[in-house]
């Protein structure tokens, strides 16, 4: 285990700011994910995972919505719909029109009738993510295994907060659920690139219980963080900050397995984020 205490977050969001600025300056060009990943000094998988965790929106959807937002200026300046479509990466006026109408609620040709009713998807501001944190402690833990038993539910990512809490209430009221002094919450994401995303949420214990199935993560390396809170909003905000300000700063690639939340005692939450190519 390698421990580094008091990591200062000042300036650690510069790479993400650079990423957003690059996207904004190149919305009318081919934005290749491999080039965006180089800005953060990570691989493409890590790029998508970091971006989703911090913004709660996939990178592809963010780019699409920013392009549709700025396309309004071109249309209001009288540029032809087909020219605007090609400028922002659509292969036809029809495909652009469908995407535009889905976001705005009206077709591009009707923009002048609705110029006081335009929808704007804002540029993301990473400063808002880290404003409540000055420094944190973390450790690198190697060859860690989780040999657990879990029950799970599959659901769209955006409704996990709505489902997870009553799911936990249900399990904690179940006398067959034996969790000892530790219990675990694990979100297993299917993908990070697609607009429509599903996830499987696991509630787990080290003890076998009725209805559970074995769930094992073997011999992996993690960044480990701790927060003295059990509130879902606190954990989510802290995790988002880690993805925004710590992962890009340290330059680790993320492993393609879930994060693990370990709930210890009455208040402590340990957050394990899997990494590869750890530069010990």
List per-residue pLDDT tens for the chain, 280 residues long: 444 444 444 455 778 889 999 999 999 999 999 999 999 888 999 999 888 888 888 899 999 999 999 999 999 999 999 999 999 999 999 999 999 999 999 999 999 999 888 998 988 876 666 555 556 788 889 999 999 999 999 988 778 878 888 999 999 888 888 777 789 999 887 666 555 578 899 999 999 988 999 999 999 999 999 999 988 888 888 888 888 877 877 778 899 899 999 999 889 999 999 998 554 4
Examine the fold and report which residue of 114, 148, 176 is the final residue of a domain before the chain moves on. Answer: 114
pLDDT digits (tens, 9 = 90+) for 176-215: 887 777 899 998 876 665 555 788 999 999 999 889 999 9
Domain span at residue 204? 135-276
Query: Of 191, 198, 269, 199, whose CA–CA distance to 227 is shortest?
Result: 269
Same domain, 94 and 145: no
Same domain, 142 and 257: yes
The CATH number that applies at residue 175 is 3.20.80.10
Same domain, 260 and 159: yes
Same domain, 153 and 242: yes
Residue 168 domain flag: yes
The CATH number that applies at residue 48 is 1.10.10.60
Same domain, 166 and 254: yes
Residue 237 domain flag: yes
Same domain, 182 and 268: yes
Same domain, 165 and 256: yes
Same domain, 84 and 150: no
Same domain, 22 and 101: yes
Same domain, 168 and 268: yes
Residue 6 domain flag: no
Average pLDDT along the chain: 86
Q: Which residue has tokens 């996830």?
A: 199
Decide: residue 89, CB within 10 A, 0-12 exposed, 13-18 middle, 19+ buried.
Answer: middle
Query: How many domains does one find in the chain?
Result: 2
DSSP-derived secondary structure letter, 252: P
Residue 255 domain flag: yes
Same domain, 48 and 150: no
DSSP line for 97-155:
HHHHHHHHSS-GGGGGGGTTS----PPP-THHHHTT-SEEEEEEEEEEEEEEEEEEEEE
Residue 1 domain flag: no
Kind of pairing between the strands at 253-254 and 268-276? antiparallel
């Amino acid at each position: 285990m390698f421990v580094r205490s008091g990591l200062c977050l000042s300036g650690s969001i510069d790479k993400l700011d650079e990423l957003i600025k690059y996207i904004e300056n190149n919305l009318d060009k081919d934005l290749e994910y491999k080039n965006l990943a180089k800005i953060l000094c990570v691989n493409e998988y890590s790029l998508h995972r970091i971006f989703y965790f911090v913004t709660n929106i996939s990178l592809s959807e963010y780019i699409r919505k920013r392009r549709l937002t700025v396309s309004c200026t071109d249309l209001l300046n009288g540029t032809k719909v087909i020219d605007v479509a090609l400028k922002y990466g659509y292969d036809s006026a029809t495909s652009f029109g469908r995407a535009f109408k889905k976001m705005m609620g009206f077709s591009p040709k009707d923009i002048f009738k609705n110029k006081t009713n335009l929808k704007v998807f804002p540029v993301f501001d990473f400063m808002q993510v880290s404003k409540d944190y000055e420094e944190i402690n973390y450790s690198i833990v190697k060859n860690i295994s989780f040999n657990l038993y879990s029950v799970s539910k599959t659901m769209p990512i955006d409704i996990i907060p709505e489902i997870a809490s009553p799911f936990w209430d249900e399990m904690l009221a179940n006398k067959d659920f034996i969790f000892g002094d530790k219990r675990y919450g694990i979100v297993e994401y299917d993908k990070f690139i697609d607009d429509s995303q599903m996830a499987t949420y696991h509630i787990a214990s080290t003890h076998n219980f009725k209805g559970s199935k074995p769930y094992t993560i073997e011999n992996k390396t993690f960044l480990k963080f701790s927060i003295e809170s059990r509130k879902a909003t606190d954990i989510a905000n802290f995790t988002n900050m880690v993805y925004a300000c710590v992962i890009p700063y340290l330059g680790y690639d993320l492993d393609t397995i879930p994060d693990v939340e370990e709930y210890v005692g009455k208040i402590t939450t340990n957050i394990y984020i899997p990494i590869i190519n750890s530069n010990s």
